Amino acid sequence: MTEPFRDPTLPPHERVRDLLARLTTEEKIGLLHQYQRPIPRLGIASFRTGTEALHGLAWHGPATVFPQAIGLASTWDPDLVQQVGAATAAEVLVFHTKNPATVGRNVWAPVVNPLRDPRWGRNEEGYSEDPWLTGVMAVAYARGLAGPHPHRMDTAPTLKHFLAYNNETDRCTSSSHLPPRVLHEYELPAFLPALREGVAVAVMPSYNLVNGRPAHLSPLINDVLRAAAPDELMVVSDAMAPGNLVDPQHYYDDHATAYAHALRAGIDSFTQDDDRAEATLAHLRDALDRGLITEEDLDRAATHILSVRVRLGEFDPEPLRRVDPDTVNSPAHQALARTAARRSIVLLKNDGILPLRDPRRIAVIGQLADTLMEDWYSGTLPYAITARAGLAERTETVFCEGVDRIALRTNEGYLTASADGTPMTITPAPGFGPVAESAAFDLFDWGGAWALRAVVNGRYVSEDENGHLTNDQPGPNGWEVRQTFRWQPDPNGTGVLQHIATGRYVAVGDNNTVTLTPDADSAAVFAIDTLRSGATEAAAIAATAE
């Protein structure tokens, strides 16, 4: 006889209730981590939340990379965005079939934070500053991810990050001031449409605090989000956020208390310590033993989790929908990515030069003209076509980045890089001869944030774990960008360099090494020698083209 929880003809809530009744307390606790434990006696496999799929499957090998979310929203085409979501889901299924333990079907997308401040480092993940457009695109992308079947999802979309998450500095400890009108007219309209439509079945809270309370403890999770969803809603924590409640937020003194309050506030799945679930489960057991949570609290969270697994068809007798492995980066998906990229382009003004009519030679100029930038949630690129490369397929191109090449000189000598990217030094300045290649840097000015690329090896200046400057990075990158500096000039035409990520200053240390210091008075004072003018070079290149 088939167990009721494996009967797809029964309503999901009946199947979940049957399965929950079969579980021991320890088995329920084992479901509450990102890496959910298997239950062999019932034939239930392990389950992993959190496959990144913001604009294509990310981090698991070459897959189709679609335009960033802000580019997808710039198409103003929900049908197209839904197609992108469906293509992403298909590729997730291919990777899941190959490695189900690593690539789960709970996808952490879309991001629906309204982009209220252009200085926020995570704007690249969201759709728009407009909550209505964000809500429309979230519905479209989540519907594509969930798939066309009315009762069985291909993947389980998760909305990120609830709530008021536009903090750049001290993201885990700063508090957003959120008045009721901003909540109801700006924030919630971005989150609620995909929940009300039932196409997003999970939510992730944000790292920050809101009005002094950690977002992971917000009463709005249970009172508003779950009320909006037609079915059970699974709430997953952000990575390491449960531990943040103790340190660095210092909201609770111990983890058992913190995890108990998070569970009761609505957190169902704890994303903590990667795949090492033992500590999290021990804290939850401790909370149960101390009476901080009850069996009913465990049942409630397990119900939310199992509801999503039932809707994914995990316990159904028929197998998972099989997708041809060749679907990944297929010609059809490449064409869809190309269409989305084309439609994402926004032309602000055309003075008559477009469209170009059979040009013989085009000058392609700029810092982004011949590079393809990747973001934190980009997939592994199976191919890359830059603006210059695309134009070069049609006509002759000439190119320059249009950036200045400089040397930074102190009284002791020049800032100097090495070909192998070891810590940088100050070397004595030559007499009247040319500046050595090792002392030359291409200066990229991103609106006041400087990035320096060492000419000697084409790598960017950053800091290492010992606080020394090195030239070993492919460009500004990482969870926190640590390859940018702020120039602070003085009245003498010289100035100091401040490392933006740390607020520390570039200084000369022992043996002419280059370090970072918190003391501005100890900073190295640099003069800038311009070795090559980017504007002059760009003008010369442009003069050779139509």
- Whether the CB-CB separation of 245 and 258 falls below 8 Å is answered with yes
Pick the closest to residue 214 from 183, 252, 179 (CA basis): 252
pLDDT digits (tens, 9 = 90+) for 238-275: 999 999 999 999 999 999 999 999 999 999 999 999 99
Q: Exactly one of 154, 238, 268, 442 is catalytic; which is it? A: 238
pTM of the entire predicted model: 0.93
Single-letter amino acid code for the residue at 426: I
Q: Report the percentage of the chain scoring pLDDT > 90.
A: 90
Q: Which two tokens stand for residue 86?
A: 């469906």
Mean pLDDT of the region 151-164: 97
Helix (H, G, I), strand (E, B) or coil at 310: helix
Query: Residue 432's pLDDT is what?
Result: 56
pLDDT band at 27, cuts 50/70/90? very high
Hey, which bits of 384-504 come out as E strands? 396-400, 404-409, 414-416, 425-427, 441-445, 450-454, 460-463, 469-473, 485-489, 495-499
Phi then psi for 286, rounded to 5 degrees? Answer: -60, -45
pLDDT digits (tens, 9 = 90+) for 37-48: 999 999 999 999
**Using CA atoms, how far apart are residues 441 and 420, in angstroms rounded to an integer?**
15
Query: Residue 431's pLDDT is what?
Result: 61
Tell me what the pLDDT averaged over the chain comes to: 96
The DSSP 8-state label assigned to residue 320 in this structure reads P
Pick the closest to residue 445 from 387, 404, 399, 473 (CA basis): 404
Distance of CA 353 to the CA centre of its chain: 37
Angle at 301 between CA 297 and CA 304, to 5 degrees: 145
Cα dihedral 177, 183, 187, 191 sign = positive
**Using CA atoms, how far apart are residues 92 and 320, in angstroms rounded to an integer?**
12
Mean pLDDT of the region 203-229: 98
**Using CA atoms, how far apart are residues 58 and 111, in angstroms rounded to an integer?**
14
pLDDT digits (tens, 9 = 90+) for 293-314: 999 999 999 999 999 999 999 9
Domains within the chain, CATH numbers bracketed? 48-326 (3.20.20.300), 337-400 (no CATH), 405-533 (2.80.10.50)
CB atoms closer than 10 angstroms to residue 219: 10
Per the annotation, the verdict on 324 as an active-site residue is no
**Using CA atoms, how far apart are residues 309 and 245, in angstroms rounded to an integer?**
28
pLDDT for residue 315 is more than 60: yes
